[in-house]
């Protein structure tokens, strides 16, 4: 019966076509999700690195203001007669000292918070009285520095900083201390100094037992 065979084929074709479309859609969706996950992975790796780049660039630019105020390098005529024990002189100290700490990423959060306050103070002292708008009172740079430092005080120094290196070192030490059978000297020495009656059970590094040789 060729007619019936052809009819069955015609009836089956729409189903096959929809099934293929669904499979193609699912494949496209899976590929899209894989690409999104790949991008998210890339962003998660580079976000803390670019945060460090932002910190370094901002700190280097900020230090120039302090260098110009206190050491006249580069030379700015308006800073020729700046005295160290004045508001501008103290601002220069903060700009050099705080900028250097930010540059290397040491104590990033507290230093950035202090510098953010300095910039807010500088804006209201030197610019806000001239005009309410920063574009007219010359305070745009102070506002930018203020909020950049405020952001760094919350976000930290990023991956390329002394703070990150110190955290990584401390985390590595803690991991060594938790490894069963670890011979890390820092694991038991501090506790044994305080409690000489305790010794580290090397077989299970997180369990302590009373040393029967020590008098109670």
Query: What's phi and psi for 52, nearest 5 deg?
Result: -65, -40
pTM here? 0.67
Cβ–Cβ < 8 Å for 153, 112? yes
Q: Tell me which of 90 and 197 has the higher pLDDT.
A: 90
Joined tokens for residue 200: 């580290």
Q: How far out from the chain centre does Cα 172 lie?
A: 19
Contact call for residues 82 and 92 (beta carbons, < 8 A):
yes
Mean pLDDT lowest among 1-10, 61-70, 82-91, 148-157? 1-10
Q: Give the CA dihedral 175, 178, 179, 181, nearest 10 degrees.
A: 140
- Could you say which DSSP state residue 157 is in? S
pLDDT score, position 192: 46
Helix (H, G, I), strand (E, B) or coil at 200: strand
- Please state, for a pLDDT cut of 70, what percent of the chain lies above it: 70
What are the C-alpha distances in Å from 100 to residues 70, 89, 216? 15, 17, 54
- Does the structure show a pLDDT above 80 at 61? yes
Spatial separation of the C-alpha atoms in residues 114 and 189, rounded to whole Å: 38
Q: Is 6's pLDDT higher than 70?
A: no
- For residues 134 and 147, is the Cβ–Cβ distance under 8 A? no
Residue pLDDT, tens place only, 116-167: 999 999 999 999 999 999 999 999 999 999 999 999 999 999 999 999 999 9
Ranges of beta strands (E only) in the chain are 198-200, 208-210
Distance of CA 21 to the CA centre of its chain: 45
| Token pair listed for 25 | 């859609």
Q: What ranges do the domains of the chain cover?
A: 52-164, 180-211
Higher-scoring residue by pLDDT: 209, 53: 53
């Amino acid at each position: 019966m060729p007619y019936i065979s052809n009819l069955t084929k015609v009836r089956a074709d729409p189903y096959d076509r929809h099934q293929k479309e669904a499979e193609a859609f699912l494949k496209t969706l899976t590929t899209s999700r894989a690409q999104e996950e790949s991008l998210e992975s890339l962003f998660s790796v580079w976000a803390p690195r670019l945060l460090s780049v932002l910190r370094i660039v901002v700190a280097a630019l900020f230090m120039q203001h302090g260098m110009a105020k206190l050491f006249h390098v580069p030379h700015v005529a308006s800073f020729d007669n700046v005295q160290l024990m004045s508001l501008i002189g103290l601002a220069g100290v903060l700009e050099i000292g705080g900028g250097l700490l930010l540059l290397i990423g040491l104590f990033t959060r507290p230093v950035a918070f202090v510098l953010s306050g300095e910039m807010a103070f500088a804006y209201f002292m030197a610019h806000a009285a001239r005009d309410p708008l920063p574009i007219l009172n010359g305070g745009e740079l102070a506002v930018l520095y203020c909020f950049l430092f405020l952001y760094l005080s919350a976000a930290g120094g990023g991956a390329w900083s002394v703070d990150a290196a110190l955290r990584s070192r401390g985390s590595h030490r803690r991991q060594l201390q938790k490894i069963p059978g670890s011979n890390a000297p820092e694991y038991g020495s501090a506790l044994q100094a305080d409690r000489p009656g305790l010794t580290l059970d090397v077989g299970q590094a997180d369990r302590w037992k009373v040393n029967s040789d020590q008098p109670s």
